[in-house]
């Protein structure tokens, strides 16, 4: 029986389509199996998993996908009590600014009566700034203009970094993202769950309106449900010590984290923090 060229092409396409489906399913199964093997109870159910994968690969993948969805739902539930402010570009500065990021463009006049200090010198402004924030649940600082110039240069060069925060059970890593004159902090674990929608625990804004007096004013607002005032200050202190460019070891860690992340060691951050605490 003669078979037309059209029929051969049709059969070939159909066979190719089926082959790709089988290959895709096989690839997904292998990836799913690889993830399952990380489960401490894998050995207990290994035989049943292997049987299901062999007899019904589609059912196997469906169950794995359901399991992953369940895990993600549990993670979201765990962080559901956190105030999830939406800063869609916090950890991705290449994205276009949204209304949620207006905090980083705040003017000093929005929170402080600038006209009252126009005739004051830097020392007087610093005292007024400290007194103004004394009874507020925020952190604040007055930074020399030259020092901030170095800090800001490093903010642009190393926009993302990690800091260890001492906790009763050990250390929690907090991720920071620099954008313009603002620094946004979010717990690393929260970022792994929410990605770019991760809730911020601290936002530091540097106000440059007083730079003609030789100073830059900083104010940090923190989430009281996530941090204490001392913890927020700890993060701010670490940030300044890493970004001021005065310590070669800290500058090297910034560079390694940004340029050669595969060789970056988290334990080095703890070593640096413990050395600070011993001083």
Mean pLDDT of 185-204: 88
Binning pLDDT at 50, 70 and 90, where does residue 85 land? very low
Tell me the range of 10-24, 58-72, 243-257 where mean pLDDT is highest.
Answer: 243-257
More confident residue, 55 or 111: 111
- Give the contacts of 223 (CB within 8 A, at least 6 positions apart): 82, 83, 199, 200, 201, 202
**Cβ proximity of 177 and 160 under 8 Å:** yes
For every residue of 202-224, DSSP letters joined together read EEEEEE-TTGGGTEEEEEEEE-T
The predicted pLDDT at position 250 comes to 94
Contact 185, 162 (CB under 8 A): no
pLDDT in tens, 206-241: 999 999 999 999 999 999 999 999 999 999 999 999
Per-residue pLDDT of 115-150, as tens digits, reads 888 899 999 999 999 999 988 999 999 999 999 999
User: Using DSSP, how many helices (H) and how many strands (E) does the chain show?
Assistant: 9, 6
15-19, 54-58, 100-104, 262-266: least confident range: 15-19
- At 8 the pLDDT is 38
DSSP track, 89-127: TTT-TTSPP-GGGGGGG--GGGTS-GGGGTT--HHHHHH
pTM: 0.63
Residue 213: half-sphere exposure toward Cβ, Cα within 13 Å: 20
Mean pLDDT, the chain, rounded, equals 75
pLDDT in tens, 17-46: 433 443 444 555 555 556 555 555 445 555
Measured CA to CA in angstroms, residue 124 lies from 52, 129, 135 at distances of 75, 9, 19
Highest average pLDDT, of 11-20, 99-108, 229-238, comes from 229-238
**Does the pLDDT value for residue 105 go beyond 80?**
no
Burial code (b: 16+ CB inside 10 Å, e: under 16) for 89-111 equals bbbebeeeeeeebeebeeebeeb
CA distances from 118 to 5, 71, 125, 205 (A): 88, 56, 9, 21
């Amino acid at each position: 029986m003669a078979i037309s060229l059209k029929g051969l092409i049709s059969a070939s396409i159909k066979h190719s389509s089926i082959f790709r489906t089988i290959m895709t399913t096989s690839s997904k199964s292998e990836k799913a199996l690889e993830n399952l093997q990380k489960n401490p109870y894998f050995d207990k159910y290994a035989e049943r998993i292997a049987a299901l994968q062999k007899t019904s690969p589609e059912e196997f993948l469906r169950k794995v996908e359901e399991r992953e969805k369940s895990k993600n739902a549990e993670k979201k539930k765990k962080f559901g009590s956190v105030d999830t402010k939406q800063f869609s570009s916090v950890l991705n500065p290449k994205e276009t600014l949204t209304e949620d990021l207006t905090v980083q463009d705040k003017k000093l006049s929005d929170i402080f009566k600038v006209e009252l200090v126009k005739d004051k010198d830097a020392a007087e402004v610093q005292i007024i700034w400290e007194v103004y924030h004394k009874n507020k649940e925020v952190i604040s600082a007055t930074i020399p203009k030259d020092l901030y110039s170095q800090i800001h240069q490093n903010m642009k060069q190393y926009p993302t970094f990690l800091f260890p925060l001492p906790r009763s059970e050990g250390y929690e890593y907090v991720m920071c993202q620099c954008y313009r004159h603002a620094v946004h902090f979010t717990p690393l674990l929260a970022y792994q769950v929410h990605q770019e929608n991760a809730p911020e625990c601290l936002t530091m804004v540097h106000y440059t309106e007083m730079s003609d007096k030789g100073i830059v004013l900083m104010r940090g607002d923190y989430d009281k449900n996530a941090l204490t005032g001392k913890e927020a200050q700890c993060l701010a202190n670490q940030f300044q010590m890493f970004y001021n460019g005065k310590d070669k070891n800290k500058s090297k860690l910034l560079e390694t984290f940004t340029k050669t992340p595969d060789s970056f060691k988290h334990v080095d951050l703890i070593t640096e923090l413990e050395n600070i605490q011993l001083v």
